[in-house]
Structure 1
Amino acid sequence: MSVPTAHAAAGLVDAFVDAFADAAPERRAAEYRALVDALWSDGELSPQALSAVPALVAGLERAHPGARGHLAVLLGLLAEAEYPTTAGPVTREVRAHLGLYLELVRTEGIGTPLTLALLYLLSHFPADRDEILAAVLELGLEPEDLSRLDRSLSELDPERPDLGRVWPSPSAWTLNEDERAFDRSWIAALTPRQIAAAWENDTRTVLGCTGARAYWAVCNGDPENLPAATVPDRSHAAAPAADTSLFAPHAAALRCPACHGALEPAGASFVACSGCAARYPAANGILDLTAPAAGDGAVDDFLEKLSQVPSMGLFYEAVARPAFLRVSGANWGGAVAPADEDRYIAEHVRPVDGPVVDLAAGAGRWTAVIAEAVGADRLVAVDSSLPMLNVLRDRLPEVPSVLAGAADLPFADASVGAVVCWNALQAFYHEAEAAITEVGRVLRPGGTFTLMTFRRSEDPVYRYFQSAHRFPQHDGGLQLFEIDDLRRWLADAGLTVREESGPGTFVFVTAVREH
């Protein structure tokens, strides 16, 4: 009984492959979806996957050039489903046809989409690293593509592990000596198991980016390459100084995170609570509300932190953030440019009385846009990352910054004129509903909440590549939103959506606190 069933399954898979390989362009997406669904679902293999590989390879040889890239991506997905094993039965069967893949990738005139799809497929065979790299070195690849391939084909050296500097590509990182020392210190503290897990997370992130770029290309055409980015000087020239004066204009809105009492500057070094007498250190225009200060030495500790924080914020703004928009927003064609984001903020942020809060402000690129729209004197930047706020303060010395979380905003009820949360809600995915509830609480009637985030792709293959990325706050994979959840959370917070838009998987929303 099992033999006829196996034959029937093989015949069905052959039919799916033939239907896709022979499909007219307008039917290609639907036929590919049927083929994928028959063999793979969200990183898991179907029972037919192993027996389907020869048919997929045969299709790769004979299909129309416009369909070959899809099949190469699918073969890569089947191999990746067995990772971290790189010698499982499906991977071995896919790898058995390495000669064909290398012949195809060397073929002149195959075009960028198919080349990128083959690079993704080849990324799964570290045992053939030297042969693969030799085959692609003459292709004139973009440095980011070549460095991702090189990293995917590398194997962990437990004695000298190279961790953490793979996003958006290893070639994007140029470290100074302080940053190298910082890397050595945190890696040295890891156990062998943690090192192995970090290496696997890095590999999945690289494969996710390679796959997302390739799959978008085979579906849409040549991706737009980002211009070369320059990371500003990492050195911190000015020593931080204690200062609370920037917070005085916003004292009426600020509230103690411990008891919700009013906060007032208490000399140059601290802001104090009138309710519970908690004191919080302030320096360099940054107020630390993460925990009450313990003694007068707390401000010295805070100054020390400010002078020593790694400069990730500079790299994030120049390199990581533009790449993140490409993966999360399916923005490989540049449908959303920075100017589009600037324009949306300028047109939709409409504050009433009270401060304007840039929630999860990061390194301040969009804080500057908000400042131009509403005036820097009205702005308060809030973020939970000290390195990010350090960069923001260098860029915008007139804007006070608060170190605090999004799920318990340090502002009084109905005290804020507007809130902006730009490309940040996904960074605290599990607290997003609580954060939106807090925004509804602190907004005055008529105040706007303007946000940009990302939704999960409706395409299961692209959605898989989105979630493959393991960032520090997403160890289990990047999590993005369902649009219905965002709408429900906004409504529950008393916010009425006035505008909702976004190409690809972008989500632009402006909501208003009506009452």
Structure 2
Amino acid sequence: MTQPPPSSPLPLASDGYPAAGGVARRSADSAESVRANRLWWDAAAPAYLAEHGSDLGDADFLWCPEGLREADGHLLRDVAGRRVLEIGCGSAPCSRWLRSAGADVVALDLSAGMLARAAELNRSTGIAVPLLQADAGALPLADGSMDLACSAFGGLPFVADVEGALREVARVLRPGGRFVASVNHPMRWPFPDSPDPDDLRIVSSYFDRTPYVETDDSGRTVYVEHHRTVGDWVRAVVGAGLVLEDLLEPEWTPGRTENWGQWSPERGALVPGTLILVARKPG
């Protein structure tokens, strides 16, 4: 079940995104991260989907800003007849694509604002997927109930206890089940958040795991993003009891012109922007 989003979760800036009164690098635990990011995505959903919705599509599976789509990459392999969990579904275009490919899908997200848009698109496309509002760190699903799990930039960079979230993924997967997730490439962390290749200069330490935190004018935390190194991701996957089968760093799709935050064709030709984890549950 999804709950209706609050009418005005946060004050908005002129671009439609939540206004940041302050920015800091400091610790932020699971409870603070969940609370802040639920508020932020509820408020940001209209602006985010207005900016990126045409690229994401209504029933399409885009893994990353570099332009890799599941229809081309086949990272999940054959999904027909499989029970699939999407974590951090947003407006759920990936889940609708999976449903069209014959999968039995559950689309999960923390944000009621995003799920409200997902429900609208379910109706307008005629491709209905079940929507579930929940935290990735506490999946309300039975042990071994899923054949596949996936997350396309959906939630993991915002989770404080990613090891716990991956243990939850391992718990709900059946033995032999597959998990594929795309996340911010750790190489992005030390550089300015700019698509300009001239801004490829080190401004912070790759090894500094201190979260990035935004607050509003009253000092309330409204956004939290967590950084892990490549090694951290590997240890988190293996520590959750999963077998890491591959690490992908997608190259920029030829002819693709879209800028997406720090991602751009010019910058994408020089450094990776996305890391894709491919794993399975033993058995």
Instruction: Report TM bin, short chain.
Output: 0.5 to 0.7
Alpha-carbon offset, residue 476 of structure 1: 7.4
2:135 maps to which residue?
405
Q: Within 1, Cα distance between the matches of 2:80 and 2:242? A: 15
Supply the distance in 1 between the matched residues of 2:142 and 2:44 (Cα, whole angstroms): 32
Tell me: CA distance 1:343–1:490, structure 2 relative to 1, closer, same or farther (3 Å): same
CA contact (8 A) 1:355 1:416 kept: yes
Are 2:103 and 1:356 equivalent residues in the alignment? no
The answer as to whether partners of 1:357 and 1:420 remain within 8 angstroms in 2 is: yes
Residues 1:425 and 2:169 aligned together:
no
- The offset of 1:452, in angstroms, is 0.5
In structure 2, relative to structure 1, the CA distance for the partners of 1:393 and 1:321 (3 Å cut) is: closer
Q: Does 2:246 align with 1:514?
A: no
Structure whose alpha-carbon radius of gyration is higher: 1
* Match in the other structure for 1:391: 117
How much has 1:388 moved relative to structure 2? 1.0
Residues 106 and 131 of structure 2 are in contact (CA less than 8 Å); yes or no, is this contact kept in structure 1? yes
With over 3 angstroms needed to count, the CA separation of the structure-2 counterparts of 1:374 and 1:513, relative to structure 1, is farther
1:6-29 deviation line (CA, Å, top 9, x unaligned): xxxxxxxxxxxxxxxxxxxxxxxx
* Aligned partners of 1:470 and 1:478 also within 8 Å: no
Q: Alignment RMSD, CA only? A: 3.9
What residue ranges of structure 1 are gaps of 5+ in the alignment?
1-162, 175-182, 184-194, 205-308, 324-333
Tell me the SS of whatever aligns to 2:227: coil
Match of 2:243 among 478, 496, 500: 496
Give distance in 2, aligned partners of 1:457 and 1:418: 28
**Counterpart in the other structure of 1:470:** 214
What amino acid is the match of 2:238? Answer: A
Contact 2:158–2:224, Cα closer than 8 Å, also in 1: no
SS at 1:348's partner residue? coil
State the shift of 1:457 in Å. 2.1
Distance 1:499 1:321, change over 3 A: farther
Q: Is the 8 A contact 2:81 2:102 kept in 1?
A: no
Give the CA deviation at 1:346.
3.9
Instruction: Give the length in aligned residue pairs.
Output: 209
Cα deviation digits, residues 34-85 of structure 1 (max 9, x gap): xxxxxxxxxxxxxxxxxxxxxxxxxxxxxxxxxxxxxxxxxxxxxxxxxxxx
Alignment of 1:443-454 (within 5 A): 443-454=173-184
Task: Give, in whole Å, the separation in 1 of the partners of 2:147 and 2:122.
Answer: 20
**Contact in 2 for aligned 1:496/1:511 (Cα 8 Å):** yes
| Equivalent residue number for residue 486 of structure 1 | 233
**Could you tell me how far 1:411 is from its partner in structure 2?**
1.5
Q: Relative contact order (alpha carbons < 8 A, sep ≥ 6): 1 or 2 greater?
A: 2
Say which of 481, 488, 505 aligns to 2:273. Answer: 505
Cα distance change, pair 471–385 in 1 and its aligned pair in 2 (3 A)? farther
Partner Cα distance (2:83, 2:111) in 1: 21
Quote how far apart the aligned CAs of 1:312 are.
4.2
Contact 1:425-1:432 at 8 Å conserved across structures: no
Aligned counterparts of 2:162 and 2:42: Cα–Cα separation in 1? 27
Structure 2 residue 103 is matched with structure 1 residue 369: no
| Paired residue secondary structure (2:108) | strand
Label 1:478 to 1:311 Cα distance change in 2 as closer, same or farther (>3 A).
Answer: closer
Residue 401 of structure 1: how far off its partner (Å)? 1.0
- Between the aligned partners of 2:229 and 2:110, the Cα distance in structure 1 is 24
Asked whether the equivalents of residues 352 and 446 of structure 1 are also in contact (C-alpha less than 8 Å), the reply is no
Residue pairs, 1:55-454, within 5 angstroms: 164-166=11-13, 170=14, 172-173=15-16, 198-201=20-23, 312-319=44-51, 336-337=66-67, 340-343=68-71, 346-350=74-78, 355-375=83-103, 378-397=104-123, 398-454=128-184
Alpha-carbon distance between aligned partners in 1 of 2:65 and 2:115, rounded to the nearest angstrom: 29
Q: In 2 relative to 1, CA 469–164 (structure 1 residues): closer, same or farther, beyond 3 Å? A: farther
Question: Given the two structures, how large is their TM-score scaled by the length of structure 1?
Answer: 0.35
2:255 aligns to what?
none
Give the TM-score, by structure 2 length. Answer: 0.60
